[in-house]
Amino acid sequence: MVYSYSLKTHKREELIDITDYVQESIKKSNLIEGVVVVFIPHTTAAVTINENADPSVRKDITTFLSEKIPQSGHFSHIEGNADSHIKSSLIGPSLTLIVEEGRLLLGTWQGIYFCEFDGPRSRTFLVKTIKG
């Protein structure tokens, strides 16, 4: 099954916890053992896993990337969001995760984050559940 989720982002750059949505797709598909693929169908957004306890980690990630890849950098792309495209490719468009006993096998401090790099926008992400 493929599940599609809609998301509204509120800042130009932010990381939004989508772990519960991914877990929900596992439950909806009755997946007990297998994998899930999380895919972001956008060229200025991405998905990653990182710490779910201290929100300053999320802030540090966007701050670090913006310092290294400033929006005002010298780029060929004329839309003014070349930095967003580069950040999207660096972080990447997908994750593959293991499911056991109907739960994501994540570490205690891990959360799944939708990475917005050119918001605020209406966004989508896809979750594919695979038995195996």
Handedness of CA 78, 80, 86, 89 (dihedral sign): negative
* Residue with smaller CB distance to Zn ion, 79 or 100: 79
| Residues contacting residue 55 through CB under 8 Å, at least 6 positions apart | none
Build a one-symbol-per-residue string for 24-63: x at contacts with Zn ion by CB under 5 A, - elsewhere: ----------------------------------------
Q: Phi, psi at residue 56, to the nearest 5°?
A: -65, -20
CB of 109 to Zn ion, least distance (A): 34
CB of 87 to Zn ion, least distance (A): 12
Contact residue for Zn ion among 25, 52, 81, 129 (CB under 5 A): 81
Instruction: Assess contact for 94 and 47: CB atoms under 8 A.
Output: yes
* Angstrom distance (rounded) from CA 36 to CA 3: 11
Contact residue for Zn ion among 79, 89, 100, 120 (CB under 5 A): 79
Residue ranges that bind Zn ion, judged by CB under 5 A:
79, 81
